[in-house]
Amino acid sequence: MENAGRPTQIVTAREAGLIGCTHCGRVHPLGTRVCTRCGAHLSPRSEASLQRVWAWWIAGLVVYIPANLYPMLRTASLGKTLENTILGGVIELMRHGDVAVALIVFVASIVIPVAKFIAIAYLALSVSHRVRLSAHRRHILFEVVEFIGRWSMIDVFVVAILSSLVRLDFAATISPGIAAVSFALSVAFTMLAALSFDSRLIWDAGKEAEQMEKERSLG
């Protein structure tokens, strides 16, 4: 980082005996419950935050399993019915030669959800365990997870668009499968898991590690 080795020291609101609002940045004396500027609920550190993260994380994982096992899309064409799971749809696209689109769907509905489960679990664990990534890197990881989560919804939208559009009676009809529901829920739950995470915890853990590092280099 460009600021590495800077002699200045950063004081957090908690260390100064204050509470900072996570919405508007206003600082309050300890014990204030509601922000006087924006009315948001205040807490020095959201202790229940990690519990909420894990609860949503597990819920998301549970519904992610049927999302992959059951059909996402049901195509009826000339009397034949074809059912496609998420992965099946990607393979189908590949076979048609639409590699670019297959890649978009693959990344949006398989790579991103799986990576998100791993990243959220990693961030939550890094609060209580020592990890190799610096606090700064983990903060970036958290921002990426927060930003990218909603893009997994692409596949659900694709199914909705296809089902509303391809209704040509006998020639071809596409209808949504039950996996669309569990996939949408899985995306929503992991978004909630990321939103419940208190990013200040990353820096608290980082600061302790930094302190230990400093003591070791001095002694």
- Enumerate residues 120-149 that contact another protein by CB under 8 A: 135-136, 139, 146, 149
Asked if 59 is part of the footprint of another protein (rule: CB under 8 A), the reply reads no
Q: Of 150, 205, 204, 159, give the one whose Cα is nearest residue 179.
A: 159
Q: Is 116 in the site for another protein (CB under 8 A)?
A: no
Per CB under 8 A, contacts with another protein among 168-197 are 168-169, 171-172, 175-178, 180-181, 184, 188, 191, 195
Is 31 among the residues that bind another protein (CB under 8 A)?
Answer: no
Shortest distance in whole angstroms from residue 51 CB to another protein: 20
40 binds another protein (CB under 8 A): yes
163 binds another protein (CB under 8 A): yes
Give the span between the Cα atoms of 202 and 53, in whole angstroms.
14
Distance CA 212, CA 196 (A): 28
**Residues 141, 135: Cα–Cα separation, whole Å:** 10
- Nearest approach, Cβ of 16 to another protein (angstroms)? 6
Q: Residues 130, 132, 165, 217: which binds another protein (CB under 8 A)?
A: 165
How many residues interact with another protein (rule CB under 8 A)? 73
CB 87 within 8 A of CB 70: no
Determine the residue type at 94: M
Cβ contact 195:46 at 8 Å? no
82 binds another protein (CB under 8 A): no
Distance in angstroms (rounded) separating the CA atoms of residues 68 and 183: 8
